[in-house]
Amino acid sequence: MTQFLPIIYVRGFAGGTRGIDKAVDDPFYGFNEGSTHVRVGAHGNALFYQFESPLLRLMMDYGYELKVRGDQQRLLNEAGSDSMPPRTIWVYRFYDPSASTFDHPPLPYRIEDAARGLADYIHKVLDKTKDADQVYLVAHSMGGLVCRSAIQRFMYTPNQALGPEEVAAGEGFAPDPAHQEHVNLSGKVTPPFPVSKVVTYGTPHGGIDIDLGGSIGDWFVETFGPNGSDIFKEPRMRDYLSPEGQEDFHPPGGWDPRVPYFSALPAERYLSLVGTNPGDYDVALGWSSRAVGVKSDGLVQIRNAYVKGSNRAYIHRSHSGRYGLVNSEEGYQNLQRFLFGNLKIAISLSDLDLDLTDGAVWQADVGLAIRGVPVLMHYQSATAHCPVVLSEENRDTPLNPVPLVTAFLLPKEDPAEPRRYALDLRVYCLREDRGFLSFGSHLEQVADWQDALLVDVSTQADGTIGSARYQWNSTLAGAIAKAGTLDKELMWRRAPDDTAASPSFVARVDIPPVAESVLGPNAHLSVGIGHWE
């Protein structure tokens, strides 16, 4: 059953006093900003496309209400019993105390203060909301770090099922799924963790690697303040992403800011939206992609833009601006499916047997399209500097499996009507000789194998998985979008990690025979599907 919980929006870093003053002038901190430009014309030219904003879409599509009454914070502080419906949107206005436009001296901004305030704000929303004991957090840029700091530093309680030595050793993180109650050593049942899911747009979970030279350094100081770069370096990230007293925690393999240590919210409850277009961010700000490089959204590097173990969607959008992540159809389509979807589907390539001799590097471009949706839900490619590198996992044994894409399925008014998905795959091999590409065996942008898998999924009236049929595009006659009933049926079986409380299923999709000489005789796609709360 779909849960419509309160949504709290947490915006990103606003910069210095001038940026903060501009941010607080907006009643909704930018969550109401839409767009009218999209890069779908010939040669990537801009065309008009009206996206209303995530705020309006949530209100129109799902009946969410925006309660303001002059001051949302004052509304939450009003005395009285719970009175608000769960389908409400709240904007956490943590910059207001640091603005110079109100009649009080502006306070310095600190991420820990914002995070501590967010933890308190979450509880105030829940105290004021009837029939809800959890919230959804939606954050842009550094707002995602504010969310993680609130969860990991100010809402962390050691797992009492572990001893103090184990907790001190760092084994107490992610003790329980957020949606489950649990019993501690005293036998007392504790309520669910107050946060159910977190969506982050372009958040620098792994920090930002900056080359602060010349005018680029001037731009960065102007944007983030004289000490702003410290926010994205390990010492400061340790401070605000660790519980008090655990800042010096040293896990095996080294500390990684992308890992949600000391968190009651597992990584799988995060959706990391990763931008892959740095060029359009330069249109807005000028110097940023020179500082962070092309493998970024113009501000945050692709490798740093996700929580490890989280669900990810790669979107060819920039960090912000008229072609930004938040004010995009792509972002909203992923947001609504993650929050309100009832099924989770994951597709992987299994039992690959690749030719890894002579410095071979195997990569894959992956795109996910849904019939009726005007954008790609997910897009990883070499041209966007984020292909799936098939050969980097293990060079000695068959790779099993290599994750390709994760998606969430929305419930439909007519459950029997199948939803059509298309997974576009391009696999190609590059060979290097002493660090240089060997062009003698190379055909630029020509795949060794490519095809598109069509899948039609229908659900039962109770939202559980029904039938699913599939077919490769290479075997279709006519247009891919207009194809009728697909040839083959997915044969579901219980997944090895299946539980009675959360059933899940897997199915095998054989690759076309022509691809066996490229991927190996036993290569196939594994399709997993399960209930998503």
Is 350 found in the same domain as 328? no
Residue 284 confidence class, pLDDT cut points 50, 70, 90: very low
Band (pLDDT 50/70/90 cuts) for residue 495 is confident
Please check whether residues 232 and 380 belong to one and the same domain.
no
Residue 50 lies in a domain: yes
- Indicate the DSSP class of residue 153: I
Listed residue (28, 116, 129) closest to 76, CA to CA: 129
Tell me the average pLDDT of the chain. 83
Could you tell me if 403 and 508 lie in one domain? yes
Domain-located, residue 136: yes
Q: Are residues 160 and 59 in the same domain?
A: yes
Choose the final residue of a domain: 340, 368, 402.
Answer: 340
Q: Is residue 181 part of a domain?
A: yes
Task: Give the confidence band of 185 by pLDDT, cuts at 50, 70, 90.
Answer: very low
Query: At CA 369, angle to CA 365 and CA 373, rounded to 5?
Result: 150
Q: Quote the pLDDT of residue 337.
A: 95
Look at residue 300 and tell me if it is in a domain. yes
| Model pLDDT for residues 363-409, shown as the tens digit of each residue | 999 999 998 888 899 999 988 889 998 876 544 444 568 899 999 98
Domain containing residue 121: CATH number: 3.40.50.1820
Q: What Å distances lie between residue 492 and 173, 462, 499, CA to CA?
A: 33, 18, 15
Strands of 55-177 (E only): list them.
65-66, 88-91, 135-140
Amino acid 438: pLDDT:
56
**Phi, psi angles (nearest 5°) of residue 258:** -75, -15
Which pLDDT value is given to residue 437?
57
Better pLDDT: 242 or 465: 242
Encoded amino acid at 84, one letter: M
Contact criterion met (CB below 8 Å) for 342 and 411: yes
Whether 470 has a pLDDT exceeding 70, the answer reads yes
Domain boundary among 304, 324, 340: 340
Whether residue 158 lies inside any domain: the answer is yes
Positive or negative, the CA dihedral 164, 169, 173, 175 is negative
Domain count of the chain?
A: 2
CA-to-CA distance for 1 and 510, rounded, in angstroms? 33
Is 121's pLDDT higher than 70? yes
Q: Say what percent of the chain tops pLDDT 90.
A: 46
Structure-token match 């979450």, residue found: 122
**Quick check: 383 and 346 in contact, CB under 8 A?**
no
Q: Is the pLDDT confidence value at 36 over 90?
A: yes
**Cβ pair 377, 345 in contact under 8 A:** no
Q: What's the start-to-end Cα distance of the chain, in Å? A: 7
Same domain? 390 vs 305: no
High-pLDDT (> 70) share of the chain, % = 79
Q: What is the mean pLDDT of residues 39-43?
A: 67
* Tokens coding 426: 């391009």
Residue 462: partners with Cβ closer than 8 Å, 6 or more residues away = none
Question: Is 112 within a domain?
Answer: yes
Which pTM was predicted? 0.89
Last-in-domain residue among 286, 319, 340: 340
Are 291 and 355 part of one and the same domain?
A: no
Q: 22 and 72 share a domain?
A: yes
Angle between helices 234-241 and 111-128 (to 10 degrees): 30
Distances (CA, A) of 478 to 297, 369, 481, 482, 486: 37, 18, 9, 8, 13
Domain assignment of residue 77, yes or no = yes
Regarding predicted confidence, which is higher, 162 or 476? Answer: 476
- The DSSP bridge pattern shows strands 378-380 and 360-370 to be antiparallel
CA angle 43, 302, 58 (to 5 degrees): 80
Same domain for 349 and 336, yes or no, is no
Is 377 in the same domain as 228? no
Distance CA 136, CA 441 (A): 50
b (16+ CB within 10 A) / e for 27-54: ebbbbbbbbebbbeeeeeeeeeeebbbb
Tell whether 2 is covered by a domain: no
pLDDT band with cut points at 50, 70 and 90 for residue 519 = very high
> In this predicted structure, what is the pLDDT of residue 415?
62
Cα 54 from Cα 329, distance rounded (Å): 9
Q: Are residues 34 and 57 in the same domain?
A: yes
Helix (H) or strand (E) segment spanning residue 506:
strand 504-510
Residue 4 per-residue DSSP state: -
- Cβ-in-10-Å burial (0-12, 13-18, 19+) of 446 comes to exposed
Contact 141, 9 (CB under 8 A): no
Which range of residues forms the domain containing residue 273? 7-340
Q: Highest-confidence range of 125-134, 256-265, 329-338, by mean pLDDT?
A: 329-338
SS (H, E, C) 222-290: HHHCCCHHHHHCHHHHHHHHCCCCCCCCCCCCCCCCCCCCCCCCCHHHEEEEEECCCHHHHHHHCCHHH
pLDDT class of 433 with cuts at 50, 70, 90: low
Give residue 214's pLDDT.
47
pLDDT at 295 over 90: no
Quote the pLDDT of residue 441. 61
The SS3 of residue 107 is coil
Task: Please tell me whether residues 448 and 324 are part of one structural domain.
Answer: no
Residues 463 and 397 in one domain: yes
